[in-house]
């Protein structure tokens, strides 16, 4: 897979006052950078080259935490390049053991983490649950673990038996609620599925956040009903923005049923896909770039696959600022996309293109 960079500055951008959450366009997968000045935490790492480029552009030298929500390839692959890289010091590595995941990639990553821990390059923590609470917080970044619980981690993924709940690797995804200056900005739920969500919500968890990065890239949720899952998750989160971190080519995400349910039940939510869904546009791709995208690294930029591209969230003047901004983003969609699914969202009005 070829990864591309967009508008990389020749000199690093470092500001001790800058706190932000960056949702990287990594194609099919997830990667978030939680940044406070020249310190950061990484949540999931689909892309190696792209992530390293953005960290260097930011002027990051120290990574407080690397957190992997679960052991799927599209959340962990880039960690193989990030963890041993000499440009960064790393404090803690966090992931949950998963005997159900027997991929070569997961085994290679575990061997690397074991080696780096032995060498004193990082501290490996192979259990992350609600018992950590706010141990991942740093600086202005508040990072709370909402799922899984120690009970669920103790059982691990597998079949239900007796008191044991049936949870898959996805159902045990680490769910993080991220705040800046005590303002709940984003919910990062990995690929949590319907069973995992039910377990999390049964604990009366406060999951409210301005932005929801939708699980499983807008695809399946382990239940027969997209509508019920959207209703349960969005009712708990009450987001103003929903991000689908997805690639244009590998899978047909997000599901039209998911977007339609937001339009029907949560019409005041803005929808933003990192890349241009094939459900929205099946013809020739627009010209690469777009003034709404800014200068962040993005996997889809060079080939014109970006829709919202890489998104940035900040707390400014008592509110939450999002880039790309809704107006320029909507204008680009209006002029370039054949049949945008987000046209059903009342808060993000877009007329369907006649093309």
The Cα 5–Cα 147 span in angstroms is 33
How does the average pLDDT of the chain come out, rounded? 90
Q: Which two tokens stand for residue 245?
A: 């971190």
**pLDDT on residue 348:** 76
The Cα 22–Cα 110 span in angstroms is 26
| % of the chain beyond a pLDDT of 90 | 75
Torsion of the alpha carbons at 115, 118, 119 and 124, rounded to the nearest 10 = 80
**pLDDT on residue 113:** 98
pLDDT at 352 over 60: no
Average the pLDDT over 188-215 and give the result.
96
- Highest mean pLDDT out of 161-170, 261-270, 343-352: 261-270
Average the pLDDT over 238-254 and give the result.
93
**Tens digits of per-residue pLDDT, 150-201?**
999 988 887 666 666 678 999 999 999 999 999 999 999 999 999 999 999 9
**Tens digits of per-residue pLDDT, 19-31?**
999 999 999 999 9
Average the pLDDT over 79-89 and give the result.
96
Q: Is 319 exposed, middle or buried (0-12, 13-18, 19+ CB in 10 A)?
A: exposed
The Cα 56–Cα 20 span in angstroms is 16
Give 10's pLDDT tier (boundaries 50, 70, 90).
very low
pLDDT at 304 over 80: yes
Of the candidate ranges 13-22, 27-36, 188-197, 261-270, the one whose mean pLDDT is the lowest: 13-22
Give 13's pLDDT tier (boundaries 50, 70, 90).
low
CA distances from 138 to 63, 267, 290 (A): 11, 35, 34
């Amino acid at each position: 897979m070829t990864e591309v960079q967009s508008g990389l500055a020749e000199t690093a951008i470092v500001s001790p006052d800058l706190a932000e959450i960056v949702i990287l366009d990594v194609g099919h997968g997830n990667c978030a950078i939680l940044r406070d000045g020249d310190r950061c935490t990484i949540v999931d790492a689909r892309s190696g080259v792209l992530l390293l480029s953005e960290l260097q552009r930011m002027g990051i030298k120290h990574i407080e935490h690397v957190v992997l929500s679960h052991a799927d390839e599209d959340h962990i692959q880039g960690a193989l390049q990030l963890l041993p890289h000499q440009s960064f010091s790393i404090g803690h590595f966090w992931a949950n053991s998963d005997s159900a995941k027997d991929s070569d990639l997961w085994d290679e990553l575990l061997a690397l983490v074991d080696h780096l821990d032995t060498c004193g390059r990082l501290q490996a923590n192979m259990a992350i649950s609600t018992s950590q609470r706010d141990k991942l917080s740093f600086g202005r970044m508040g990072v709370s673990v909402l799922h899984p619980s120690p009970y669920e981690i103790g059982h691990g993924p597998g079949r239900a038996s007796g008191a044991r709940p049936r949870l898959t690797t996805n159902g045990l995804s680490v769910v993080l609620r991220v705040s800046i200056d005590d303002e709940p900005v984003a919910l990062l739920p990995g690929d949590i599925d319907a069973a995992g969500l039910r377990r999390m919500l049964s604990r009366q968890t406060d999951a409210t956040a301005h932005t929801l990065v939708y699980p499983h890239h807008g695809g399946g949720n382990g239940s027969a009903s997209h509508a019920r899952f959207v209703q349960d998750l969005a009712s708990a989160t009450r987001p103003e923005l929903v991000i689908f971190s997805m690639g244009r080519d590998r899978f047909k995400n997000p599901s039209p049923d998911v977007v339609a349910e937001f339009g029907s039940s949560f019409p005041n939510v803005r929808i933003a896909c990192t890349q241009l869904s094939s459900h929205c546009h099946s013809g020739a791709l627009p010209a690469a770039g777009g003034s709404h995208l800014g200068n962040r690294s993005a996997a889809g930029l060079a080939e014109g696959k970006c829709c919202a591209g890489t998104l940035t969230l900040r707390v400014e003047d008592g509110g939450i600022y999002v880039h790309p901004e809704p107006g320029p983003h909507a204008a680009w969609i209006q002029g370039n996309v054949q049949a945008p699914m987000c046209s059903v969202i009342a808060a993000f009005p877009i007329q369907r293109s006649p093309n």
